[in-house]
Amino acid sequence: MKKFSQLAIPYIVWAVIMLVLPMALIAFYSITEPGNSIFSFSVTLDHYVTFFTDGDFLRILWRSLWIAVKTTVICLLLGYPVAYFISRCGERLQNRLILCITIPMWINMLVRTYAWIGLLTEGGLIQRILSFFLPDGTQLLYTESAVLLGMVYNFLPFMILQINTSLCKMDGALLEAGADLGADPVQTFARVTLPLSLPGVVNGITLVFLPAVSSFFIPKLLGGGQYFLIGNLIENQFITVGEWNFGSAISMVMALIMMLLMAVVRRLENRNRGGQDERNF
């Protein structure tokens, strides 16, 4: 036990330096206002009051949450059937399909998002294909739809891989038992497959929603600066405006929202796991 605790020391040091210390600095900046000298400051909550009393900031927050919800729902609707299909394939084909899904993730996300600009721009491949169905002059790039498309494209693999992992871990004997008891494929899916895959669904929702709600370069590239989300607001406060204190306050608000959502997701997962344990008992 002592040996394992010693092996954990480098990770603890790394976590303190890379995670705890930056969060502590952000929290400190969010409740302070710089004074006349570099070491003087005053404690204030005005940054939080400004954020929650300004209608424009609240609309940006709501827009970010809403597009993250839409991204998560679309990824779930698209990802679950794909993950289910992969889990029903043979082992060799399954490995090849998983490889096809993960290969695009080897490329930097920024580069992949840049590629969509060429596809969606006027004269691009997708623009020319859809020109037969859309009215003349319809713009695909720099719209909410382009931002949503970019988010779904970048985050869909996380949903597929998480759900597929849960489905592959499922005991096939349970499906056979359901069939022996007279359940048709729909009943077997609703009462066996879907409940057992919920941990993967919950993990997939977490891995899609959290980065989607705080994304800033996808709306910046595909939205052209016309579709402003909370991540863009934080970036603007730090880099363009130079209001580190107000930017830190917004960052803390987003961090608290994410931690709250993660706590709710974890609670739902534990409740579902407890229900399964009771049924198995």
pLDDT digits (tens, 9 = 90+) for 190-225: 888 888 888 889 889 989 998 999 888 899 888 887
Q: Residue 135 has what DSSP assignment? A: P
Domains of the chain by residue range: 57-280
Give the separation between CA 271 and CA 267, rounded to whole angstroms.
6
Answer for the pair 189, 207: CB distance below 8 angstroms, yes or no. no
pLDDT digits (tens, 9 = 90+) for 161-188: 999 998 888 877 777 777 767 777 788 8
Alpha helix (H) ranges present in 2-54? 2-7, 9-15, 21-30, 46-53
pLDDT digits (tens, 9 = 90+) for 33-86: 887 666 778 888 999 999 999 999 999 999 999 999 999 999 999 999 999 999
Sort residue 217 into left (φ over 0), alpha (ψ -120 to 50) or beta: alpha
Give the separation between CA 279 and CA 236, rounded to whole angstroms.
51
- 108 by Cβ neighbours in 10 Å (0-12 / 13-18 / 19+) ranks as exposed
Answer for the pair 127, 208: CB distance below 8 angstroms, yes or no. no
Q: Which CATH number fits the domain 57-280, given the four candidates 1.10.3720.10, 2.40.30.20, 3.40.190.10, 1.10.10.10?
A: 1.10.3720.10
pTM, two decimal places: 0.85
